[in-house]
Structure 1
Amino acid sequence: MSALLTAEPDLLAIARRWAADPDRWPVPLRFDPSSRWYARLDADGRHEVWALSWLPGQGTDLHDHGGSSGAFLVASGTLTEETVSGGRLRPHLLTPGSGRRFGPRHVHVVTNRHADPAVSVHVYRPALRRMTRYHLAEGRLRVAEVAEAGVAW
Structure 2
Amino acid sequence: MAFPHLAVDNAPRHPVTVAGFAALARRTAADRARWQPLVRYDALTRWYARLETGPGYEVWLLSWLPGQSSGLHDHGASSGVLTVVQGELTERSLGRSGESTRTLRPGAQRVFAPGYVHEVVNTALEPAVSIHVYAPGLVEMNQYGATAAPAGQAAYEGG
TM-score (norm 2): 0.77
Report the CA distance between 1:90 and its aligned residue: 1.9
| Structure 2 unaligned blocks of 5 or more | 1-9, 151-159
Q: Which residue number in structure 1 is paired with residue 31 of structure 2?
A: 21
Structure with the higher helix share, 1 or 2: 2
Q: Retained in 1: the 8 A contact 2:95–2:117?
A: no
Whose radius of gyration is greater, 1 or 2?
2
Q: Does 1:141 align with 2:159?
A: no
Count residues in correspondence: 138
Moved more, 23-32 or 109-118: 23-32
TM-score (norm 1): 0.80
Q: Which residue number in structure 2 is paired with residue 132 of structure 1?
A: 142
- 1:21-72 Cα distance to aligned partner (Å, 9 max, x none): 1322497111111111000000011210000000110011110001101101
| Structure 1 unaligned blocks of 5 or more | 143-153
Structure with the higher strand share, 1 or 2: 1
Identity of aligned residues (%): 45
Query: What is the correspondence of 1:1-153 to structure 2 with a 5 Å cutoff?
Result: 8-9=16-17, 10-25=20-35, 28-85=38-95, 89-137=99-147, 140-141=148-149
RMSD: 2.4
